């Protein structure tokens, strides 16, 4: 259980922050950037949820995702080390749940014949924003995983990859099952 009884500690005043392992890193460290960008994704999803009146199924899916993103942040905040007791990690079952939700939402959508521009309903527009932040988080996590001695679990990378797909499909769902999608017209303004 997490207990937060004091919000400021002044320990970060020197430009460092503590990982979940207690190790201190610069605030610009790639691992800190990874879980910070996951947190940004989560905040954007929180804004989406303000605009989902009348879409309880989608809201419930996003509530689960927000909790998963805290799990992912905790996963990234404690580097995996051999011989150390395992901490909270993102699991393949969480990725699989996202895949089932993608399939469930996608079943009600018409196939696309063009790329979709961010827009439509407020919920859809914010889902597109969350998707782009998610893609940035994924890039940072993949870059972190490519560094020597910076292990990242496969499920963490897979989760973010699948989440961006989910957010795209969810945006179409929030756009009246695709009827309100704003489609790209190549060269329209030439």
* Cβ partners under 8 Å of residue 141, min gap 6: 34, 38, 76, 152, 156, 157, 160
Cβ pair 132, 171 in contact under 8 A: no
* pLDDT band of 25, cuts 50, 70, 90: confident
pLDDT digits (tens, 9 = 90+) for 157-171: 999 999 999 999 999
* Cβ partners under 8 Å of residue 187, min gap 6: none
Domains detected in the chain: 24-79+87-180 (1.20.1200.10)
Mean pLDDT of 72-97: 84
Cβ pair 24, 54 in contact under 8 A: no
* pLDDT band of 60, cuts 50, 70, 90: very high
Interior CA angle at 142 toward 153 and 146, to 5°? 85
């Amino acid at each position: 259980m997490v207990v937060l009884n004091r919000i400021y500690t002044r320990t970060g005043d020197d430009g460092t922050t503590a990982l979940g392992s207690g190790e201190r890193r610069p605030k610009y460290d790639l691992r800190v950037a990874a879980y910070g960008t996951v947190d940004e994704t989560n905040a954007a999803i929180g804004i989406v949820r303000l605009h989902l009146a009348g879409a309880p199924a989608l809201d419930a899916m996003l509530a689960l995702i927000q909790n998963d993103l805290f799990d992912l942040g905790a996963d990234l905040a404690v580097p995996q080390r051999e011989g150390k007791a395992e901490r909270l990690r993102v699991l393949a079952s969480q990725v699989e749940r996202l895949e089932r939700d993608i399939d469930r939402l996608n079943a009600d959508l018409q196939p696309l014949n063009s790329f979709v521009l961010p827009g439509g309903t407020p919920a859809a527009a914010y889902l597109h924003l969350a998707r782009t932040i998610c893609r940035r988080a994924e890039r940072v996590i993949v870059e972190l995983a490519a560094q020597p001695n910076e292990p990242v679990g496969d499920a963490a990378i897979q989760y973010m990859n699948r989440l961006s797909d989910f957010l795209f499909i969810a945006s179409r769902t929030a756009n009246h099952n695709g009827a309100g999608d704003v489609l790209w017209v190549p060269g329209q303004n030439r």
